[in-house]
Amino acid sequence: MRVTRDLIYLVLLRAATVGMTLLAGSPALGQQSDWPARPVRWIVPFPPGGANDLVARLVAQKLGERWKRPLVIDNRAGAGGNLGTEKLNYSSFGDGSSAHLVGEMFRSQAGVDIVHVPYKGGGPALAAVMAGEVQMTFSNLSVALPQVQAGKVRGLAVTSRKRALALPQLPTVAETGLPDFEATAWVGLVALRGLPAALVQRLNREIRELLAEPEMRNQILARGLEPADTTPDAFGRWIRADIERWKKVIRAAGIKTP
């Protein structure tokens, strides 16, 4: 039986960014005569101490003096310079993880070129967004919610079919222009094959009763989760459909699962 549904949550951009990325040919550069009106963030896709970093810092210092605005050097080393030079990078909690699969589904349906950067866990993947190492991530709502509420990251949309009760102001990805997009994660209870049907029904009934109690329901909702009132048969169908859905994404993206 499925106990809770944990909505996968799309998080994009740090809420408190240092400035803006300096990009050649950006429309903002030519349209604003008073540019820059605030500190500028200059991405160097290599570690500190190298020739690229040295030149960038020398030029940034002089430009800063001319513009009377500081240029903040942001070293993003990795992947031979690709980590710092690609238009969008998204983090996940590992190759073949649910966040990786959702990212590939989004990339395919939206037709955008986003680069996957795996981290060792959901916490580090979210921290990478806050640190500016990547531009976006697909995080479980229960993990991202405290950081969104604290203003450390900005939520753009939820990937579930319906809006999340915890953040009803955010649209779904489907509402933003991808009508067929839907991805959710779930937490459930399963048992070994052969468990007597009467016992399965009893466990299902008692857990559903617990989830319906106001105190339990409020605790679950406060963590960004939503109770799912379902049956063993319905949960089984959900799992089988979920497997088939993600098989298609894995094959299309050529993902090698652990």
For the chain, domains (ranges, CATH) are: 2-16+82-253 (3.40.190.10), 27-81 (no CATH)
Rounded Cα distance, 20 and 40, in Å: 5
Residue-wise pLDDT for 210-237, tens only, equals: 999 999 999 988 888 888 889 999 999 9
Ramachandran angles phi, psi of 118, nearest 5°: -75, 140
* Mode of pairing for the β-strands spanning 71-75 and 40-44: parallel
Average pLDDT over residues 104-117: 89
Q: Which of 225, 6, 12, 258 is nearest to 126 (CA)?
A: 12
Percent over 70 (pLDDT), the chain: 81
Rounded Cα distance, 147 and 153, in Å: 6
- What confidence score (pLDDT) does residue 28 get? 39
Average pLDDT over residues 121-148: 90
**Overall size of the chain counted in residues:** 258
- What confidence score (pLDDT) does residue 171 get? 92
Rounded Cα distance, 116 and 92, in Å: 7
Treating both helix axes as pointing N-terminal to C-terminal, what angle do 122-131 and 141-149 enclose, rounded to 10 degrees?
30
14 pLDDT band, cuts 50/70/90, is: very low
